[in-house]
Chains A and B, each alone.
Chain A
Amino acid sequence: MTEQHTSDPSDKPVLRTVSPDRTENEKYLNQVFDNCADIVFRSFNSCFGEILIVYVDGLADTKELDKRVIKPLTRCEDANDSNVRGRLDGEFRSKDELIEFQEIVKRILYGETAVFAEGLPCAIMIQLIKFEHRSVSEPQLESSIRGPREAFTEVLQTNLSLLRRKFNTPELKMEEVQIGELTRTRVMVSYLADEVNMEILAKVKEKLTSIKSKAILDANYIEESIEGSSFSLFPQIQNTERPDTVAASVIEGKIAIFVDGSPNVLLAPMTFWSGFQAADDHYERFLYVSAVRIIRIVLFILSLLLPSFYVALTTYHPQMIPNTLLISIAAAREGVPFPTVIETFIMEIMFEGLREAGLRLPRAVGSAVSIVGALVIGESAVQAGFISAPIVIIVASTGIASFAIPRYNLSLPFRLLRFLLLGLAGSLGFYGIAAGTTAILIHLCILESFGVPYLAPLASSKKFSAEDTLYRAPKKG
């Protein structure tokens, strides 16, 4: 993967190793970096003859370069070192000397600085990488009340260090793969050697290396390429922006996949129940957390079923509604033009619209959207008699319930399935809901994430355990 693609040998000069002739090297590099205005070639006279340094503009620390490379090389009066190599030794303890151009070009593109000296048959690679990036900040999506408040950034090294700081053991392994013909993105597979299931690890690695993709711009590019059932609505790989979540998952034997340039770290395998585990579930006392988890599961069921239940009840099974409630619903529906199903569809779509608009718009405009939404949908539609008031209550409660699922990627399938069930409820009543939920359950039971049943450990052939799924067991005995 790493070695085959620097330049096509057929139309490029034959020269593949560094020659002692500086100008020849420069000529070759100029050819490789044709039309790359951000590659800087700097030549200067030093005490040791002509020197050429090559680096990427913006990736190298030019101040340090001046101070630690150019200055020492041009100051000839105290020249007791015999050559360039010796002089740079005094400044940099670790540096590489390379002769293969392929490797040199790659290193330059990562941000290292290459130094070519007249008569030296190799390039000295100096690591003076410095570029602009976001610093570690608070998590945006998975905020918590208690517990650490750091989130991953776009820089791989930073992300790895955030995880490594939590493990003082060499058992935490990090294996690097480079993926993407163009981006050659660094992907790091991290796991705890004595916890991980080797079969799953082999499967993940095999899938990663077989990715044939031009570019990897975000973790999702990897996620979609390696998940088992692409057409399942349910996510089979979890993602997180919290180092502590990654650490906890790695301890459970999961595999973390870091992708350079993405603040989200992938965790595989994922089970259904991890969607209900919030980051601070283990930072709060267990009784409270267990109660909250039950509420989450109830709300999740509501978010999936409430609109379809309402539609089925009012249009097919009015016997089941208590007397007074029935009459107040009937009174509210008096004069409403649409059937209940259509009404619910309209309101659900409007709500999804509000949600999407609120997500994309700048914060200043976002509040305007919510005000308009609340006024138009909540008030005017009901007063004008287009929509009955109970529908607004139902849709609003469903919306609130759907926000109670801690993992955003698990709330997405239910957003879609809600519409499916709504259609079934509108055409077949409770029979439709029963059929739909049965189909969903069957799918969930069949679904696997890297060989692990999706509903494990509650519904799998292995030992039943609800200790961190339906509730959270206490930490002490």
Chain B
Amino acid sequence: MIPILIRIYLKRLTAAGIVLSVLLLTGCWDRTEINHYAFWMGTFMDRAKDNEIRVSAQIAVPSQIGFSEGSSGSGEDQGSIVVSATAPTLLASCQLIQDKLPRRLFIGHRRAVFIGQSLAESGIRDLMDMYTRNLETSFRTSVFIVIGEKPERVLEMKSPFEPLSSSAAVDIEKYSKNGDKSFRDFIVAMKNETTCPVLSVINTADIENKKAGQVFEINRLAIFNKKTQLAGILDPEDSLMALRVMARLNQHIVTQYISKGDGYVTLFESNQRTRIQTKIEGGQVSVHIKLTGTGTLRENRTKFDLLDSKALAVVQKELNEGLSKEVLKSINKVQSTYGTDIFGFGDAIHQQHPGEWQKLKGNWEQTFPHVKVFVDVNLHIVRIGAQGSPT
């Protein structure tokens, strides 16, 4: 029976054999076993001598990360190693890093890129080319600017929650008010005609050593100019207001002193909206920013009983006025100190006055600091909680 079958199907068997040998014998496999990869989880880049770039790679050591059975718990395990190299281009230094590793570098799962202050000040546009050009890199990577002493320390930090400091930084940013300012947003802003990109900042001076590990905070914004050079770093308060105007705030907790009630109130803002109205009168550009939102009052330390709608109206009015002043102050500070349009005023003019924009866009960088800004905050308190007066 079998020989007959073979005779009938000889042609097909031959064809199948040829296909199989093409598949198996040519060696055209790009198969790599998962344990032959070195997972590059985070990068630190900074300027070295002679205009070269120093790249440090945080490489995960899977067997030392507590996911697998047996290896968890021992405090000495690092979970990662840091390998560094210096070269004129990024990929050249990547090659040097590869030379030091017994496994194939795999960059597809990198969570974070940390950029040193001196490198950022000299401009990072040309670095971004490698990331947008290279197919292996992920757009969901987060990018941070690191300031303070010994910035390369960020890769060696050990968070009590995450085995890798890159993941910890990404998660801190995710739950901070800064929100997830991923690499993609940065690229989009960078390619925009007038809007300037922002990035989150990690300060190594903020790193606190706890018994279980190290903790740091992310609450500042680094702002760039149109040449993608670091223009400056905003205070936490200004960062908050800037993010609010850019409508990119993750969550907003407003705390305001109410002078008439002699105390502070704190509320959670939701349904945040930003409307930017522009006007051009006789060469003078003015911008009207209207911020609206609804708030839930969570803490009341004033003497008011908020079940009384009149008292609530007083609180709301004073809150809005106070907030307007703060936003305006922050915007003016960005205008006068750094002169970079991170808010997208240029875009708004472009959309609302396309004709005049043709004349303006050539020297927008000079015009931006002199734009007149008006801020109108209209927060509506919709919930005050279960009781009126503070207990």
Contact = CB atoms under 8 A, between A and B. Distances in A.
B31 A339 contact: yes
Interface in B54-103: 60, 62-63, 65, 67-69, 71
B39 interface: yes
A427 B34 CA distance: 15
Interface string B120-144: 0000000000000000101000000
B62 A327 contact: yes
Interface in A409-466: 426-429
A427 B109 contact: no
B33 interface: yes
B50 interface: no
A329 B34 contact: yes
B71 A331 contact: yes
A160 to B, nearest CB: 35
Interface stretch (A35-43, A88-96, A189-197, A316-324): A316-324
Interface string B141-160: 00000000000000000000
Interface residues of B, number: 26
B71 A318 contact: no
Interface residues of A, number: 26
A319 B108 contact: yes
A238 B272 CA distance: 62
A245 interface: no
Contact of A331 (B31, B62, B109): B62
Interface string A308-335: 0000001110110001101111111111
Given A318-B108, A334-B63, A327 B33 contact: no
Given A339-B33, A427-B29, A327 B39 contact: yes
A398 interface: no
B271 interface: no
Contacts of A336: 35
B107 to A, nearest CB: 10
Nearest to B108: A319
Contacts of B71: 331
B106 interface: yes
B30 interface: yes
A319 B33 contact: no
A316 B34 contact: no
A428 B23 CA distance: 8
A428 B34 CA distance: 16
B220 interface: no
Contacts of A314: 33-34
B63 A316 contact: no
Contacts of A326: 34, 39, 109
Contact of B109 (A319, A332, A334, A429): A319
A324 B106 CA distance: 15
Q: Which secondary structure characterizes the binding site on chain B?
A: loop
A469 interface: no
B167 interface: yes
A427 B68 CA distance: 28
Contacts of B34: 314-315, 318, 326, 329-330, 333, 340
B173 to A, nearest CB: 15
A330 B23 contact: no
Interface in B3-60: 23-24, 29-35, 37, 39, 60
Interface in A322-375: 323-324, 326-336, 339-341
Contact of A327 (B31, B60, B136): B60
Nearest to B106: A318
Given A323-B109, A333-B35, A334-B35, A316 B67 contact: no
A341 B29 CA distance: 13
A331 B23 contact: no
A323 B62 contact: no
Contacts of A330: 34-35, 37, 39, 60, 62
Contacts of B24: 427
Contacts of B167: 323
Contacts of A339: 31, 33
A351 B35 CA distance: 25
Interface of B: 23-24, 29-35, 37, 39, 60, 62-63, 65, 67-69, 71, 106, 108-109, 111, 136, 138, 167
Interface of A: 314-316, 318-319, 323-324, 326-336, 339-341, 389, 426-429
22 contacts: A314-B34, A315-B31, A315-B34, A316-B31, A318-B37, A318-B106, A319-B109, A327-B62, A328-B65, A330-B34, A331-B62, A331-B63, A332-B68, A333-B33, A333-B34, A334-B63, A334-B68, A339-B33, A389-B69, A427-B29, A427-B31, A429-B31
Given A318-B108, A340-B33, 19 more contacts: A315-B34, A318-B37, A319-B136, A319-B138, A323-B167, A324-B67, A326-B109, A327-B62, A327-B65, A328-B65, A330-B35, A330-B60, A330-B62, A331-B62, A331-B63, A331-B71, A335-B35, A427-B23, A427-B24
